[in-house]
Amino acid sequence: MTLRTRLALSLVVIAAVLVVPLLVARRAIGRLETDVRELREVEFRASLTLGSLRDAIADVRAREVALNLAASDTVRDQLNAALQHATLAADSLVRFKLDSSGVRIHRALVSIVPAAEAEYEAVRADSSAKADTISQKTIGPLLSSAERALQAGERELRNRTSDKVGRAEDALVEAEQYSLAALAVALLLATIIALWLTRSISQPVRALEEGMRAVADGELDHKLDFDVTREDEFGRLAASYREMAKQLADLDKLKAEFVSIASHELKTPINVILGYLQLMEDGVYGPLNEKQMPVTRTIQAQANTLARLAAQLLDVSRFEAGGGRIEPRPIQLPHMLDELERAFHVLAVQRGIDFKVTRKPNLPPEVVWDWERINEVTGNLLSNAFKFTPSGGTVELLARPLENGVCIEVADTGAGIKPDQMKRVFEKFYQADNQKSASAKGTGLGLAIAKEIVEAHQGKISVASVVGRGTTFTLILPKAVVNRRRTSAYKMVVPPGMSG
């Protein structure tokens, strides 16, 4: 499944999941609308009808009292009209499912009609006793029966309304609960889908980012931390990444082979040039005049520079190919430090730089190192320190003992190196952008060779720097390095110029 399809499907599922709570809420609202409509169209109208019926019965009672006091056709017609109105109202209760109360009231009102006619005749005949008897013994009880039936209907309506309101409230609470539950489930599912989608995207993106960073740092065999055989955009990116890393590795190998071959092939013509220059200076081809002497010295200096560069390139290539060898021999550490101090004293005086060599107590008197290689490393570090330190600055070489080794620090108060460039100073041909502060340009190979030599001694080299305040290179070397090759003799080596 492609990433685009996965994104579209996830969005559809999330949308569908979030719609479920809306459907549940809509269903609950529909049920509530039905209950409210029934209350409005049935119970509310029934309540109005009962109220009208109560007024009609009260009107019948009032007309009956008026008929008992003064019998006239007008009063009788008014009573009959009131009875007819009340009867119609009682009959309408059937529509509101109040049949029992409506039938009882209807019967009572229908029975009042002949009694009211008899009462009218008695009043007309001046038979007040008979009229009172009809009113009290017949009409009065019938009206009371109608009122009791009316009260029963009101109670029934009230109870029914209360039940419906209660059911509506329960339905509303239940709908709210179901809606909240559905919303919680929907949000949980949406969160799970979102996390799955985020992880399925962020993990390969992070792995590709780490892979590109590793390739940028020179780790061309870095493996991506996800399934590179997946059939989506990330799988294709992984294939492109592997092809890119392979091509870079082939290119790096080709570059190393070219540098090795080129540097090796350069040695012969450079040595020939230097040889002929020496013969010319010795007068083998005749004496040199005053104009020719500076020219030959300039050519010789440039040839020596080329020879040194070729040797450095060859050194780097040998170490990278695993062929760089060291020849550790016992050397006297105090004498080595003295020689370094003497060698750079003149340069310090010429540059106006305060140079000192500090020896901490309990330094081992003897170490087993490759003198020429370690001298090359420390000499390169000191040369760089002098190159980047202005007049009036300070350069210090400090040696202090460690539990199983020696720590050598070369510190200066020069231009310093930016933090984002320090991790690359040991790469071949890399030069920090502080070269404008240097007294002379470099090739970018010295620190790369120094790192290879130190690591060949099973040691470590690191750098710390603050821009504008200076740089400190730190070497940590074991006291004794075991030679990887068997040697024919094991003798004390004293650096040139030292006395035992």
Is the same domain home to 310 and 374?
no
> How far, in Å, are 268, 279, 311 from residue 271 at the CA level?
5, 12, 12
Place of tokens 């050397």: 331
> Each residue of 362-378: b (16+ CB within 10 Å) or e?
eebeebbbbbebbbbbb
Are 184 and 251 in a shared domain? Answer: no
The enclosing domain of 43 has a CATH number of 1.20.120.1730
- Block residue for tokens 């003064």: 70
Q: Which residue has the tokens 């409506």?
A: 102
Within a 13 Å sphere around the CA of 173, how many CA atoms are in the beta-carbon half? 5
**79 token code pair:** 């009573």
Other CB atoms within a 10 A radius of the CB of residue 403 amount to 5
342 and 311 both lie in a single domain: no
CA torsion, points 448, 247, 266, 383, in degrees to nearest 10?
A: -10
Number of domain units in the chain: 3
DSSP states of 67-89: HHHS--HHHHHHHHHHHHHHHHH
Where is the domain boundary, 320, 350, 381?
Answer: 320
Tell which of 194, 226, 254 closes a domain. 194
Tens of pLDDT along the chain (500 residues)?
A: 566 776 777 777 777 777 777 777 777 777 777 777 777 778 888 888 888 888 988 988 888 888 888 778 888 888 889 889 888 888 888 888 888 888 888 898 888 889 888 888 888 888 888 888 988 898 889 889 988 988 998 888 888 888 888 877 787 787 777 777 777 877 787 788 778 777 777 777 777 788 787 777 667 677 776 666 777 777 777 778 778 878 877 776 776 666 666 666 676 787 788 787 888 888 787 888 888 888 888 888 777 777 766 666 666 666 655 555 778 899 999 999 999 999 899 889 999 999 999 999 999 999 999 888 898 899 889 998 998 899 999 999 999 999 889 999 999 998 888 888 887 888 776 676 555 544 445 556 778 888 888 988 889 999 999 988 899 999 999 999 876 443 333 333 334 433 33
Residue 41, domain member (yes or no): yes
Three-state DSSP class for 230? coil
314 lies in some domain: yes
What angle, rounded to 10 degrees, do the helices at 99-124 and 73-91 form? 170
Domain boundary among 253, 287, 320: 320
CB 102 within 8 A of CB 146: no
Contacts from 405-409 at CB under 8 Å and sequence distance 24+? 405/459, 405/476, 405/477, 405/478, 405/479, 406/333, 406/363, 406/364, 406/367, 406/476, 406/477, 406/479, 407/474, 407/475, 407/476, 407/477, 408/378, 408/474, 408/475, 408/477, 409/472, 409/473, 409/474, 409/475
Task: Identify whether residues 307 and 336 lie together within a single domain.
Answer: no
Are 267 and 317 a contacting pair, CB within 8 Å? no
| Alpha carbon of residue 473 to chain centroid | 37
Task: Please name every residue paired with 401 in a beta bridge, in sequence order, or none if there are none.
Answer: 406
In this structure, the answer to whether residues 153 and 71 fall within a common structural domain is yes
Quickly count: other Cβ atoms within 10 Å of residue 183's Cβ. Answer: 17
Rg of the chain on CA atoms, in Å: 56
Q: Is residue 83 part of a domain?
A: yes
* Pair (359, 289) in one structural domain: no
Say yes or no: 274 and 375 in one domain: no
List C-alpha distances in Å: 154 to 58, 73, 95, 150, 151.
16, 34, 15, 6, 5
Q: Would residue 500 count as lying in a domain?
A: no
Does residue 260 belong to any structural domain of this protein? yes
Residue ranges of alpha helices (H) inside 389-431 are 419-422
Beta bridge partners of 399: 359, 408
Write down the residue that tokens 């081992």 correspond to.
Answer: 364
- Same-domain status, 63 and 17: yes
Tell the residue number behind the tokens 């009809």, with chain if given: 134
Same domain, 189 and 312: no
Task: Identify the pLDDT of residue 437.
Answer: 47
- Domain check: are 339 and 445 in the same one? yes
DSSP, residue by residue, 370-394: -HHHHHHHHHHHHHHHHHHPPTT-E
Instruction: Give yes or no: residues 149 and 265 share one domain.
Output: no
User: What letter does residue 482 receive in the DSSP assignment?
Assistant: -
At residue 389, φ and ψ (nearest 5 deg) are -105, 125
Is residue 203, in this structure, part of any structural domain at all? Answer: no
Listed in sequence order, the residues at least 6 apart from 204 whose beta carbon sits closer than 8 Å to its beta carbon are 224, 226, 234, 237, 238
> Is 97 within a domain?
yes
d(CA 88, CA 93): 9
180 and 61 part of one domain: yes
**What domain range includes position 136?**
3-194
Query: Residue 397's beta-bridge partner residues?
Result: 357, 410
Identify whether 166 is part of a domain.
yes
Tokens of 398: 């400090």
Q: What is the CATH number of the domain that holds 402?
A: 3.30.565.10
Position 459, amino acid: G
